[in-house]
Amino acid sequence: INESFLDIISIDMPSGIHPDNGLVMGAAIQAKHTLVIQNIKQGHLLQDGPDYSGNLHIIDCNIMQCVFPEIQMHLDELYTIGKITPRKKNTHKYHYGSVVTIGGSKGMMGAPVLCAKATQKTGTGLSTILHHERYFKDAMMIDPSLLYNHYSSIEEIPALIRKATAIVFGPGLNKNDELNTKILQYLLKTQKPIVIDAGGLYYLKKLVKSYSDLSQVIITPHFAEMADFIDVPISELKENPVLYAQNIVHKYKLTVVLKGYTTLILNDDHTFFSNYGTPGLAKAGSGDVLAGIIASLLGRRMNSIEAAKIGVLLHSKTGWFAQSKL
């Protein structure tokens, strides 16, 4: 069928695509259009599903909608409209939050720069990069509008983050450094909103079992990082990504942004699917930018699930915009 060169229409799901995880089960129909019965299925959105489902057309068959405690929703791309308040003329930088990005290591100093620049582009008034003093010579101090600082011990951290309204922990951060564990322990005690990404997930994994309520935390792993975080093979995670993410959310009350072409955004009440990604975002640094966008919204007092949803949508839209300019 796939080699017929005809326009293929599937009903509800392309045959051979798993309806729960979107994986190809041996072989699958490559549809140009899929007529979706009543509701979009997880398999349309996850993993191989978007490549095989083509254009989705929802057919309303008046099937009675069941209400489940676990609410799953497809995020509308227009959700961002009216969600970000325009700046007033009579304002200054301290009205728009102060975000501190903690990260960087030898060969990875670009990551915190991309993250901090993204917070600034998203509207943060004061954006600071904080790194260990041993990487001072590696620091990419390429933007005079960003602030840079460094530390050598845990005792210096409280003063350096005191004015922060949100924190990003992890972009470019190296592993196996006990000081980083101590820093994250302190950050979690402050109850400041925090986005934990990349290397920061390694340290959160060491600490997470000591907590039952991390509602101030947003984690932003891709599939490989998520598999490592929950100690399962990535193949197993791909079989049940929604279930594994929901289990983590229920257990620790944090917010999860599981990155992919379709990104999952979850808290303890809802699961959202955002399928507005672009393959153009499949490059080093995209995740650092997303962490910065979300942190900027947190820094302006937006709650975690709203910051995650709007951040993911803004990131996707800017990805499409940048791709269209190439």
Q: pLDDT truncated to tens, each residue of the chain (326 aa)? A: 999 989 999 999 999 999 999 999 999 999 999 999 999 999 999 999 999 999 999 999 888 776 666 688 999 999 999 998 889 999 999 999 999 999 999 999 999 999 999 999 999 999 999 999 999 888 877 788 999 999 999 999 999 999 999 999 999 999 989 999 999 999 999 999 999 999 999 999 999 999 999 999 999 999 999 999 999 999 999 999 999 999 999 999 999 999 999 999 999 999 999 999 998 899 999 999 999 999 999 999 999 999 999 999 999 999 988 888 76
CA dist 229 and 238 (Å) reads: 14
Q: CA 226, CA 245: separation in Å to the nearest integer? A: 8
Minimal CA–CA distance to 261: which of 51, 81, 36? 51
Residue 4 to residue 226: CA distance in whole angstroms: 39
- Number of other residues whose CB lies within 10 A of the CB of residue 306: 14
Cβ neighbours, 10 Å, residue 285: 16
d(C-alpha 210, C-alpha 243), whole Å: 22
- The whole-number pLDDT of residue 322 equals 86
User: What pLDDT does 114 receive?
Assistant: 96
| Residues forming a β-bridge with 168 | 101, 195
State pTM to two decimals.
Answer: 0.95
> Could you give phi then psi for residue 295, rounded to 5 degrees?
-65, -35
Task: Tell me if 290 sits within 8 A of 308, measured CB to CB.
Answer: no
